[in-house]
Structure 1
Amino acid sequence: MGVFPLGVLGCCLLFLPVLTLPSDPTLNDDVLGLIVFKADLRDPEDRLGSWNEDDDSPCGWVGVKCDPRTKRVAELALDGFSLSGRIGRGLLRLQSLQTLSLSRNNFSGGFSPELSRLASLRVVDLSENDLSGQIPEGFFAQCRSLRSVSLAGNRLSGEIPPSIGACSTLAALNLSSNQLMGALPSGMWLLNGLRSLDISFNNLSGEVPAGIDKLYNLRTITFRGNQLSGSIPEDIGGLALLKSLDLRENLLSGNLPATLQRLSACASLLLGRNSFTGEFPAWIAEMGSLEALDLSGNRFSGGIPDSLGNLQLLKFLDISGNEFVGSLPWSMSTAKGLSEADFSRNSLTGDLPQWVFELGLQRISISENKLSGFIQIPNASYHTLQVLDLSGNAFSGGVPMEIGSIGSLRLLNLSRNSLSGPIPASLGGLSALEIVDLSWNRLSGGIPPEVGGAVSLRELSLEGNSLSGRIPSQIGNCSALVSLLLSKNNLTGGVPSSLANLTNLQIVNLSRNRLSGNLPKQLGDLPHLLIFNISHNLFSGDLPAGNFFNTISPSSVSDNPSLCGSAVNSSCPAVLPKPIVLNPNSSSNPSSSGPLFSSDLRHKKIILSISALIAIAAAALITVGVITITVLNLRVRSSNPSHSADVPPPSDGYFSQSPATENNSGKLVMFSGENPGFSAGAHAVLNKDSELGRGGFGAVYKTVLCDGRPVAIKKLTVSSLVKSQEDFEREVKKLGKLHHPNLVTLEGYYWTPSLQLLIYEYVSGGSLYKRLHEATGEVLSWRERFDVILGVAKSLAQLHQLEIIHYNLKSSNVLLDVSGGPKVGDYGLAKLLPMLDRYVLSSKIQSALGYMAPEFACRTVKVTEKCDVYGFGVLVLEVVTGKRPVEYMEDDVVMLCDTVRGALEDGRVVECVDKKLAGSFPPDEAVPIMKLGLICTSQVPSTRPEMSEVVNILEMIRSPQDSSQGEELG
């Protein structure tokens, strides 16, 4: 074939209509089309290196398959090739193309309607890319023989075009995880060949129109994660072949239509997190093919029907978060196929039925109900339970010894009950056990030494009981232990030195016990320690040196009278030689010392007596004062009956509520136990003059508490999206327990049904974004930038350890304190607002574009902590280069990741470092950090490192010289 210069050929073909392309018969149309297509792309991994324009045929090229009869390209499959750029018109020359699959890449730009001109095209998969704009009206209007279209996981916006009904050959349509809005077009019901329809995780609204029964070939419907409202149409029962119906996370309401029982082939009925009402439909028991049933997070009421046990094929059942009453039905013992069941957050009563242990379940949760009685476990070898959560009930009696017979158990949560007696030693025989939570019961006795046999244990929580005795040294055998919570017991003795063997340990809370002695010095070698709270004990001596203990919070070691060191503002006594003891029979002059010693002793006795009298008098005055204040408080509370309704339960004793400041005042809770209140009414603090900024989760204001302390107040966006007060307070309580030097501390909250405020510590240094991009003063030095990166990494590692995903990491959410240290804010807020992630994606989080991992928008993929890792990688590049994650040029959009990656490939990555640093940075730190940032922004989540690994890598990157300088300056 003739040889043309690729650059000239590509430029010509881009501007000529398809019909005027060169028609030389010696040129293979498929080769020509693919080379033009490649010319529009960036191929960082050289996956298309085998594509050679001099070849006579493309049939041997990577990703290309040809029809063996015609030798024309029939399939182009480049999934996951890390390609970027636009999908060019070169593909239009592939006139025999049947399958076009370009998923899991980074193609951008609009979606071309011209693809429908390929008459042979059957399958189009462009999912998980970065396509934007509207779906062209002409694409579906011109489609001829398309059987499957997937545009999932992009940024397509606008409405679903009404012309979609013209694509009558479609069997599968997936438009999920985009930003589509508007109502469902009625033309969609004309696709009577459709077998699979997925429009989940968009912003579609309005009611589901009637006529859906016309899609009589449908097998699966997924409308999850939209804003669809109204009731389920009655004619949905006409879909006789339907196997899966997923309407979760919408605004649907009303009773469930009885026509659903006609879906005899339906195996999966998922209706969770809507606003359905009425009693548990008894006819569901007649849907004999059901394998998965989710009615969670609705407003169903009444009892659970006994007929539910008739569903012999049922494997998954979730009816949590409703208003069900009565007892757990005994008939469930016949549901032999059940593997997972969640009855939590209802008002169920009665005893714990035996079928919980005899049915062969793997996971069971009945938490936060009103069950009572004893927990009785049959001692048998057939147990398959991996998760047993009975927390937040009224169970009494002891923790059964038979718990040790459940060898498969990985999580045991019996917290917040009224269990008493000892912790059974049989727990130590559960080698698979990872999490044990027996907190907030009435357990007594000691911690059994056998606990050391639970070698897989990661979290052990025994706080809020009446445990006594010593902490067993055998706990040092639990090498995987990350969290150890033993606070608020009656433990005595010292901290065993074996705790220093637990190199994975991050969180230790031994506060409010009667522990004593010196802390083992080896604890200072623990590499990952984030929290070590020993306050309100009897420890003595100085703290361990090194790592975490050099910067330990004073509140974590307070109220240990004999403890010394800088953290408690008490110098440790110097080590002195033993005193010389004089021989009483010595012939030396006794008169020179005897009288003086006697006089001195009498003088000390007098001083001691006066000091004792003063102390006794002071103690008496304090006691009288405390009694007086207590009596006054009791009188005030008894005169205000509504106040008691807002007092948190005893288990939350560290909460404190302020008195009402306004007649319509809500509930103000401070986690510190203090009671300052606002200096003005709750609404008065939210004035425009005190606004600090606005973000996807709400506006932030600065105000002052009555004690003069400044705080930052975040008013949450859209009150209608906030969870119930109970759920809201549960989530806020978890966030209130988080304390880390690189996290903005949540100090409290304010609640009314129409106004929710979060009270944070005030960080005076402004945001990282302003220091990088808007500040006109002093430039951030290299050391300051490194400290910011390392601090943010440590904070994310802490959040991920506690299974909290940030969701919204960006430089404007990183604040700097007076010393330049970073504090990450806005963490964990998506849990407060159950619809917020979708709401933010639709309108508020646009400022976070560039930080968002590709899978964040693809709701068919589970959002994990790896999304935070991606955002962190972008933040790293932003801090090092001083450039914004996305730069908008006159006719192009430049992604920072792409710029740095290209510079790295060309060997000029050092040139990317912020010009303001002007050579005042170590290249042997800057280059590895930028490489780490690129690794964190990998398109494939599984290849991104864990944040704990990132912290270790950063600490290795920092040069010893820089570290020593930091220590000297510190």
Structure 2
Amino acid sequence: MISSRHTSSSAATAAAAMATPSCLLLPVLALLSAAFGAAAAATVSDDVLALVVLKSGLSDPAGRLAPWSEDADRACVWPGVSCDPRTGRVSGLDLPAASLAGRLPRSALLRLDALLSLALPANRLSGPLPDALPPRLRAVDLSGNAISGVIPASLASCDSLVSLNLSGNRLTGPVPDGIWSLPSLRSVDLSGNLLSGTVPGGFPQSSSLRVVDLSRNLLEGDIPADIGEAGLLKSLDLGRNSFTGALPESLRGLSGLSSLGAGGNALSGELPAWIGEMAALERLDLSGNHFVGAIPDAISGCKNLVDVDLSLNALTGDLPWWVFGLPLQRVSIAGNALSGWVKVPGDAAATLEALDLSGNAFTGAIPPEIANFARLQYLNLSSNSLSGQLPASIGRMLLLELLDVSANKLEGDVPPEIGGAVALKQLLMGRNSLSGGIPMEIGTCSSLIALDLSHNKFAGPIPMSMGKLTGLQTVDLSDNLLNGTLPMELSNLDSLRFFNVSHNSLSGSLPDSRFFDNIPYSFISDNAGLCSSQKNSSCNGVMPKPIVFNPNSSSDPLSDFGPSSPSNQHQKKMILSISTLIAIVGGAVIVIGVITITVLNLRTRATPRSALPTALSDDYHSHSAESPENEAKSGKLVMFGRGSLDFSTDGHALLNKDCELGRGGFGTVYKSVLRDGQPVAIKKLTVSSLVKSEDEFKQHVKLLGKVRHHNIVTLRGFYWTSSLQLLIYEFMPAGSLHQHLHECSEESSLSWIERFDIIIGVARALVHLHRHGIIHYNLKSSNVLLDTNGEPRVGDYGLVNLLPMLDRYVLSSKIQSALGYMAPEFTCRTVKVTEKCDIYSFGVLVLEILTGRRPVEYLEDDVIVLSDLVRGALDEDRLEECMDPRLSGEFSMDEATLVTKLALVCTSQVPSQRPDMAEVVSMLEMVRSPQGTPEDDLV
């Protein structure tokens, strides 16, 4: 037992370590280690000191470790610490999601020689794993951190280890040899890292392994042939790697295996019939491989199967009978080459909840018996060759949330019974030959969020009942034969963010709502009778054709309303007179208006223009930009920092087309020049009716004006009136990334090195913005500008915060050009929009940079989503085909693969699965400098 004097001395040393500058911390820790070594045996006091040392090496912004004090005699009451009740020694550390950052000190961990469990998941730990662990450790959970480097080979000597979870880190290198031979090991999860190379064999028959998860890494080669020797395995996940070859036959011996995941690899050959011998199998995922041939009927031997995913292979033949015969809940065989009829037997099990048969070559009619699956929530039959009518029995599917029958050969009317599917959230029937009218009963599908009837032959009016679908967010009725007016009831659809009725025969006014006031013209184009500000026409100016009667005609145009009489003749003359008067007066008004505008234009050109008002500083010293009677609403120009405070041109120059640089969702950008000769870019906001009050506007713009980073466009000033708001930015002469990717020739296209620099630069810009609490919301290639050195500069950041509230539906209507970049959480009111939406947009942007393709491409009969295209190519080992051909082999495919995988992780549908931007920067730097340490963080 260490004396109290020694304990006090050691505690004082630990306290000094916490107050010592970082340059002196290592010597102090060395002294602490020496003090530990002086003890004859480990004691409770040693545990206290070891934990103090551990604390000293970690950042603790949330203060979770504040009670950890060197003055304590025991650590058992500290947060996250548990002790052995017999000995009082520390036996467990459990601090999940505690915001801890830093490296795990090896010396402190080794001194905790009674530690059995180390659980620090979902923190921000970094650096390599310690090359040695406490000797009695049984459970390790360091998942969801930023730990890098290789898994130390010494891990294979931890004989007491039962559970190891290192998932969701940045570990590289191979899976260590000998790890499968640990006698007590039951669970290993190394998923979601950057592990590479082949997986070592050596699975002993005496293995205790129950769970092995190596998914989402860069592993390659064959799956170990002896993996089936681990006869107690319950769950095996090897998905989302680059494994090749066939499934090892040793797997057939795993009679207790309940989950087998090998999707997203490059496995080949036929599906083995012996899968049917795995009687305990509940989940089977072999999607995204190169399997060929028919689906074996023998799989029906897996009586416990619940979830089957065989999608995205090259499977042929008929749909196997067991899809409807087994008590399955989820089945996906999408993206294969299956053919024949879809037949539902009368004795089919009614347990199905999700069925995806899309992207095959099925023919015939949709069987009415599909409605017998009363639990079905997801039904996707799209992209086949199905014909006939949509069965009326669909209306009996009370739990159905998604019905996708798009891109088939369906015809005839949509049955009114469709209104019975009251749980429908997505009804997708585009690209068929459906005809007749849109049924009024659609209005009873009160849960609808997305409706796609485009590219059909629907005729007649849009039913008023659609105005009852208040949750509608996306509507596509384009390319039909619809006529009549848009129902005014559509103004009730407050959730709308996409409404496309282009290429129809609609007429009249648009509904009165914020969405329709700002609807993009492309959504209503090719409807000759529609009037809107987007089409530069007003329904108020459209006059009916004058009524003209033929005096020689024997027929009476009013005869249907009664016999001819003197009074009738008088009515005729009155109608004729009124019509004539209306036409004359209307024409006179138009002529007078044209003359007035011409005179005003001539006077304006002849009158000297006053310059935009100036301000000497943030004190808003200014003079009026308007007439004396509007002096209270005078404009104010404010410039941040040093520099000229006035323009060399006046405000009217902003309306000159020659000065226009481009247009975006929030305004038009013009080039101008300050008095000192410096060019600037001026954004004239077009959301004046939505912009916050003057004080809030100025407060937020000043915040944006303080943002300084070499990868961010600097906001230099602003101008405010109640009807005109301008933002003044530094001018970027080299144009936008969009121009360089999509409008440049092969000779002048960006090189691989330039593209990589742009990716890292944009990532660093987002890190800087997020650290200052600014979410971009509108990241896309047209908002990434290049300076004279080719450095990327992110612009248009934080503008959405100028609106009084974050109404994502207004926002989405303002940035429709960014639809391909928008994170899926924009479609759901209940999901909080955070920095993760920027990370999604960044992932799409990276794919755009790598491939040279647009995020969404609209073809005549299809819509190609870039992220889906690249993900499919990666799964099928065709990624090189997706790379921009202008790069012509000047890059490393291994490097490009790593960046692509990172981009796809960023575009995960689940926000929590996307990395933070700081993590993205670190991973990009590791890809660029794989043999050395990451470059200095420039953010």
- The answer to whether TM tops 0.5 is yes
Kindly indicate whether the alpha-carbon contact (under 8 Å) linking 1:691 and 1:699 is maintained by their aligned counterparts in 2.
no
Counterpart residue type for residue 6 of structure 1: A
Tell me, in whole angstroms, the C-alpha distance in 2 between the residues paired with 1:444 and 1:160: 62
Q: Which residue of 2 aligns with 1:832?
A: 869
Tell me which residue corresponds to 2:110. 92
CA displacement, residues 891-950 of structure 1 (integer Å, 9 cap, x when unaligned) = 8876567xxxxxxxxxxxxxxxxxxxxxxxxxxxxxxxxxxxxxxxxxxxxxxxxxxxxx
Q: Is the 8 A contact 1:478 1:502 kept in 2?
A: no
Match of 2:361 among 347, 354, 359: 347
Match of 1:6 in 2: 14
Evaluate the alpha carbon distance shift between residue 227 and residue 540 of structure 1 in structure 2; reply closer, same or farther with a 3 A threshold. farther
Whole-Å separation in 1 of the counterparts to 2:848 and 2:279: 56
Whether the 8 Å contact between 2:371 and 2:394 is mirrored in structure 1 is: no
Q: CA deviation at 1:354?
A: 1.6
Checking the alignment, whether the CA contact within 8 Å between 1:153 and 1:176 is kept in structure 2 is yes
How far did 1:462 drift? 0.7
Name the counterpart of 2:81: 64
Change (3 A) 1:119 1:809: same
Aligned residues: 662
Q: Which of 491, 496, 499 is residue 506 of structure 2 equivalent to?
A: 491
Q: Does 1:513 align with 2:527?
A: yes
Match of 1:730 in 2: none
- Residues 14-38 of structure 1, C-alpha deviation per residue, up to 9 Å, x if partnerless? 3366795342888711111111111
SS of match in other structure, 1:114: coil
Asked if the contact 1:483/1:507 (under 8 Å) is kept, the reply is no
- Matching residue of 1:692: 750
Please state how far the C-alpha of 1:362 moved relative to its aligned partner: 0.5
Q: How far 1:510 moved relative to its partner?
A: 0.7
Change (3 A) 1:768 1:470: farther
The whole-number CA distance in structure 1 between the counterparts of 2:14 and 2:412 is 81
- CA offsets, 1:683-709, max 9 Å, x none? x9756xx44221698999xxxxxxxxx
TM-score, normalised via structure 1 length: 0.61
Give 1:507-586 correspondences, 5 Å limit.
509-517=523-531, 519=533, 534=535, 574=596
- Structure 1 residue aligned with 2:332: 318
Residue 152 of structure 1 contacts residue 177 of structure 1 at CA under 8 Å; is this kept in 2? yes
- Residue 60 of structure 1 aligns to which amino acid in structure 2? V
Instruction: Assess if the C-alpha contact under 8 Å between 2:295 and 2:317 holds in 1.
Output: yes
Alignment CA distance shift 1:80-1:305 (3 Å): same
Q: Is 1:809 the counterpart of 2:821 in the alignment?
A: no
- Tell me the equivalent position of 1:673: none
- Residue of structure 2 in register with 1:168 after alignment: 183
AA partner of residue 93 (structure 2): L
1:423 and 1:810 map into 2 onto residues whose CA distance is 38
- Kindly tell me: are residues 843 and 503 of structure 1, through their superposed partners in 2, closer, same or farther at Cα, counting changes over 3 Å? farther
Match of 2:791 in 1: 770
SS in structure 2 at match of 1:303: coil
Amino acid at match of 1:130: A
Are the structure 2 counterparts of residues 364 and 852 from structure 1 closer, same or farther at C-alpha, using a change threshold of 3 Å?
Answer: closer
**Displacement, 1:334?**
1.1
Deviations 1:359-379 (A, max 9, x none): 121010000101111112238
Q: Does the C-alpha gap of structure 1 residues 825 and 408 become closer, same or farther in structure 2, counting only changes over 3 Å?
A: closer
Is 1:105 aligned to 2:99, yes or no? no
Q: How far is 1:165 from its partner?
A: 3.4
User: Which residue number in structure 1 is paired with residue 489 of structure 2?
Assistant: 474
C-alpha contact (below 8 Å) 1:743/1:824 kept by paired residues: no
Kept after mapping to 1: 8 A contact 2:47/2:112:
yes
Residue equivalent to 2:39: 23
Counterpart in the other structure of 1:143:
158
Q: How does 1:310-459 map to 2 (within 5 A)?
A: 310-312=325-327, 314-331=328-345, 334-360=348-374, 361-378=376-393, 383-459=398-474
Equivalent pair of 2:380/2:405 in contact (CA under 8 Å): yes
Superposition deviation, residue 11 in structure 1: 4.2
Distance in 1 separating the partners of 2:431 and 2:796: 45
1:492 partner SS = strand
Task: Answer yes or no: is the 8 Å Cα contact 1:285–1:307 preserved in 2.
Answer: yes
Change (3 A) 1:12 1:478: same
Secondary structure at 1:317's aligned position in 2? Answer: strand
Measure, in 2, the Cα distance between the counterparts of 1:892 and 1:518. 55
- Structure 1 residues 757-802: Cα deviation after superposition (integer angstroms, max 9, x where no partner): xxxx9x9945897166xxxxxxx9xx99878999999699744547
Q: What SS does the aligned partner of 1:128 have?
A: coil
Alpha-carbon distance in structure 2 between the residues aligned to 1:351 and 1:331: 15
In structure 1, distance between residues paired with 2:498 and 2:255: 51
Partners of 1:488 and 1:872 in 2: CA distance = 45
Report how far residue 195 of structure 1 moved.
Answer: 0.2
Structure 2 Cα separation of the partners of residues 518 and 355 of structure 1: 46
**In the aligned structure 1, how far is the partner of 2:341 from the partner of 2:898?**
49
Q: C-alpha distance in 2, partners of 1:367/1:811?
A: 25
C-alpha RMSD of matched pairs (Å): 4.6
Identity of aligned residues (%): 31
Amino acid at match of 1:436: L
Matches within 5 A, 1:31-70: 31-70=48-87
CA shift, 1:121, in A, is 1.0
User: Out of 221, 224, 245, which is 1:230 matched to?
Assistant: 245
> Structure 1 residues 865, 308: CA separation in 2 closer, same or farther (over 3 Å shift)?
closer
The whole-number CA distance in structure 2 between the counterparts of 1:769 and 1:353 is: 58
Query: What do the CA deviations read for 1:303-333 (whole angstroms, capped 9, x no partner)?
Result: 1133432202x00000010000101122286
TM-score by length of 2: 0.63
Aligned counterparts of 1:181 and 1:368: Cα–Cα separation in 2:
36
CA distance in 2, matches of 1:489, 1:892: 56
Q: Which runs of 5+ in 2 are unaligned?
A: 1-6, 18-24, 543-592, 600-741, 759-776, 803-810, 827-836, 857-864, 881-891
User: Hey, what's the Cα distance between the residues in 2 that align with 1:111 and 1:884?
Assistant: 17
Q: What are the Cα deviations for residues 211-259 of structure 1, in whole angstroms up to 9, with x where unaligned? A: 2221100000000011101111122110010000000000000011222
2: CA distance, partners of 1:402 / 1:137 = 65
Write out per-residue CA displacement over residues 30-74 of structure 1, whole angstroms, 9 at most, x where no aligned residue. 111111111111111211111111011111111111122221111
- 8 A contact 1:481–1:504 mirrored in 2: no
Quickly say closer, same or farther: Cα 1:191–1:834, change in 2 above 3 A: farther
User: Equivalent residue for 1:905?
Assistant: none
- The amino acid across from 1:830 in the alignment is S
Q: How much does 1:339 deviate?
A: 0.4
Call closer, same or farther: CA 1:72–1:873 in 2, change over 3 Å.
Answer: closer
Q: Any idea what SS the aligned residue of 1:809 has?
A: helix
Structure 1 residues 791-800 or 168-177, which shifts more?
Answer: 791-800
- Call closer, same or farther: CA 1:478–1:132 in 2, change over 3 Å: same
Distance 1:507 1:452, change over 3 A: farther
Deviations 1:495-528 (A, max 9, x none): 232x337799789711101224454xxxxxxxxx
Q: Is the 8 A contact 2:778 2:815 kept in 1?
A: no
Alignment CA distance shift 1:407-1:504 (3 Å): farther
Q: Is this contact kept in 1: 2:15–2:70, CA < 8 A?
A: no
